[in-house]
């Protein structure tokens, strides 16, 4: 049985990545139909970059991959949950999770790598 998905007008769905072991929310990104297909085919998280207008594999440039344990769909079919085994940090800023700050700016997460050592910018 396949679930009907409700892609938005840009043909995207939000996808939350959650650490399979800790249950921590790691990041939010968007997926196209192609990104979801690649995720299912390879077993690794693929997303669609709205800013770069391209498909990307998480960890493609950093080696900080997300191996998919399970993909869940919300009740309306308009959001996904990627339950993942995270290798390295999930956030491109070097933190374990993209949700490493409070609204007041307090850092509550752990920095696990230096982005200057990982990315060619």
pLDDT tier for residue 119 given thresholds of 50, 70 and 90: confident
Sequence-distant (6+) residues with CB within 8 A of 32 are 7, 11, 12, 48, 55
* Cβ 29 vs Cβ 47: under 8 Å: yes
* pLDDT (tens digit per residue) in 75-114: 999 999 999 999 999 999 999 999 999 999 999 999 999 9
**pLDDT at residue 2 in the model:** 81
pLDDT tier for residue 121 given thresholds of 50, 70 and 90: low
* Cβ 47 vs Cβ 13: under 8 Å: no
Q: Which domains does the chain have, with CATH numbers?
A: 13-113 (3.10.20.810)
Averaged pLDDT of the chain: 95
* pLDDT (tens digit per residue) in 23-47: 999 999 999 999 999 999 999 999 9
């Amino acid at each position: 049985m396949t679930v009907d998905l409700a892609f938005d007008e840009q043909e995207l769905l939000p996808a939350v990545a959650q650490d399979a072991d800790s249950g921590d929310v790691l990041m939010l990104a968007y997926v196209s139909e192609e990104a979801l297909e690649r995720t299912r085919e390879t077993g690794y998280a693929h997303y669609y970059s709205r800013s770069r207008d391209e498909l990307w594999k998480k960890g493609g440039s950093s080696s900080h991959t997300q191996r998919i344990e399970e993909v869940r769909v919300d009740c309306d079919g308009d959001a996904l949950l990627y339950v993942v085994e995270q290798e390295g940090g999930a956030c491109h800023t070097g933190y374990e999770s993209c949700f490493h700050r409070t609204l007041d700016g307090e850092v509550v997460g752990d920095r696990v790598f230096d982005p200057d050592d990982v990315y060619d910018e």
